[in-house]
Structure 1
Amino acid sequence: MTKAEAEAMALDLTRRSTPAEGGFCTFQPVVRGDACPRNMDCHNCDKFVMSAADLLYWRRKAEQWHTLAERAPDDATADYLHSVFEPTARAIDGLEKALAEFGLLDGALALDLRRPQDYFHRLWSLAFRASDLAGIDDDDDQPEETE
């Protein structure tokens, strides 16, 4: 991913948003207090965004899913658990790539959520649509072949 691609995907959370599990909802009727038309299924909504401040949360979730899969009673169950979490894992990888392009990855990894934070810092106000992050092509990591 290039910095230009990351900038094109970036959203500024200084506009109105509301916290959701592991990210923020930017769907304005919900932000104003209306009922969610998707029954709060945030992770399958295109209005769900992830910020740098959410990275550690999602890394912990990935560890939980891997632990569940390791303890699965059989390979079919483990494969199912991996397949269910796979879109989220792609979004986490995409978030890390985007943050690296903005120079915010180290700050996101060092964030201590137990301490008071500066919520106007870019770690909190810069976010990306989870669906965009999950769609980042892994082939970008491969070096280009030259003949």
Structure 2
Amino acid sequence: MDQFSRAYLHEASRPGTILLRPTEVKADDTRAAVARIDLTVVPVEHGLCRYGPVVGGAQCPFEKNCSSGPKGPCEHFVLTGADLAYWERKRDAAYHFAEGAPTDEARDYILSQWHPWEPVLTALREALAELGLLEEAEELDLRTPVHDYFDPLFATGWPVAQLNQPPAAT
């Protein structure tokens, strides 16, 4: 039995217990190395960044502008179920703000910023519904969220580009 399996079996009955730290993985224990927690995913701007060198942001090719850069969302930006409520509330606030815009051009500009995000949010909702996580995502309290990164709501994510795929032709 490898090091990860022993730790898991011993501590499985105690939720929240750290099972394995990356420093504990030995190069000769390949199964434990494969099972290690991947620390290359970093929380950013109400999503996750999968671009490993970004920690601290100095090497970020998008200058830490994950969601609204001039080239669109970063290819490394990932949304989880825990991000759904934030992005939907942000969109709804923008729509409300657009209603009071002084000109039609200003209103159209504000609304145009959200056109690319509509299919992303719709796809995220569909993916969460398919996994049975939609209700939990909708009920997440953004004022006092509990960040349980082992909960599927926080641990299951999709790259924005994957969520923004056109519907399959039938």
TM-score using structure 1 length:
0.77
Whether contact under 8 Å (1:25, 1:31) holds in the other structure is no
**Alpha-carbon shift at residue 115 of structure 1 (Å):** 4.5
Equivalent residue for 1:118? 148
The unaligned stretches of length 5 or more in structure 1 are: 1-13
Whether contact under 8 Å (2:57, 2:64) holds in the other structure is no
**Alpha-carbon shift at residue 89 of structure 1 (Å):** 2.2
103, 107, 125: which is aligned to 2:132? 103
Cα 1:27/1:117, change in 2 over 3 Å? closer
**Alpha-carbon shift at residue 59 of structure 1 (Å):** 1.1
SS in 2 for 1:49: strand
Equivalent residue for 2:111? 82
The unaligned stretches of length 5 or more in structure 2 are: 1-36, 68-72
43, 65, 75: which is aligned to 1:41? 65
CA distance in 1, matches of 2:103, 2:43: 37
CA distance in 1, matches of 2:57, 2:102: 43
Q: Which has the larger radius of gyration?
A: 2
Equivalent residue for 2:51? 27
CA distance in 1, matches of 2:147, 2:52: 25
* C-alpha RMSD over aligned residues: 2.1
- Count of aligned residue pairs for this structure pair: 127
Runs (4 or more) in structure 1 with deviation over 3 Å come to 31-34
Q: Report Cα offsets for 1:64-103 as digits up to 9, x if no partner.
A: 1101211111222211211111112221111101111111
Same amino acid, percent of matched pairs: 37
TM-score using structure 2 length:
0.67
Q: Report Cα offsets for 1:33-74 as digits up to 9, x if no partner.
A: 652121112112110000000011001101111012111112
Structure showing the higher helix proportion among its residues: 1
Q: Report Cα offsets for 1:105-139 as digits up to 9, x if no partner.
A: 011111224043422010000001112212243x8
CA distance in 1, matches of 2:125, 2:166: 11
Whether contact under 8 Å (1:17, 1:31) holds in the other structure is no
